[in-house]
Amino acid sequence: MPYMIPQNIKYEERLIGPLTMKQSLYAGAGCAIIMYVLIFSTLPFVIKAILTVVIGLLTIGFSMFDLEKYIINYVKFTRQPKRTSWISPAAKELLNIRAIRADSVFLRGGRVLGLVKVTPINFGVLSDSDRDSVIYGFLEFLNSLNFPIQIVMRSVNLDLDDYLRALKRMFSQQSLLMLLPVLAYCLI
């Protein structure tokens, strides 16, 4: 059976101990700057100490943790245009949408549409009086409107058999765990 040799192997020559050429340059430049700050600068001791710590941390970050890649990726991310909506540009153009902010859709013609999300109610578990109150409340809501409204409803059938089996299994395991101390006490 032939063995596939990986093609994307990258090897960098080591210059000083485990450091590559780039890491060695970062470490050397950082050490040179720290030595200059400590020996030749006329700054107060506190500022020298703070500069030394900051430059040392940056040197470690650049030489050991590839800080330059993180900085480059951050700059690319901040300059990249962000997609501020889940709706695609083609759909925005088709629906004539200028912007979507909060619960409002701003159309190019100057109209504003409001969106209301309502949580579903399971009528199967409500009593007759609760059902009637929900229906009459919705009827009063519709009669109070003096503008056009569009209602979108989505019905989803749920299969709860797996959930109920897992719940029974968890309950039986929990009841067995609760019996263990009683059994241990009886055995003593």
Summarised one tens digit per residue, pLDDT across range 150-186 is: 887 777 777 778 878 887 888 777 766 666 665 566 5
Q: How confident is the model at residue 2 (pLDDT cuts 50, 70, 90)?
A: confident
Note the pLDDT of residue 83: 63
The average pLDDT across 116-129 equals 82
Cβ contact 48:37 at 8 Å: yes
Angle between helices 45-64 and 21-39 (to 10 degrees): 180
Per-residue pLDDT of 29-85, as tens digits, reads 999 999 999 999 899 999 999 999 999 999 999 988 889 999 999 999 888 876 666
Q: Token pair for residue 46? A: 């506190």
Domain ranges across the chain: 14-79, 89-144
The average pLDDT across 115-144 equals 85
pTM, full prediction: 0.43
Note the pLDDT of residue 12: 77
- Burial code of 40-72, b = ≥16 C-beta within 10 A, e = fewer? eeeeeeeebeebeeebeeebebbbeeebeeeee
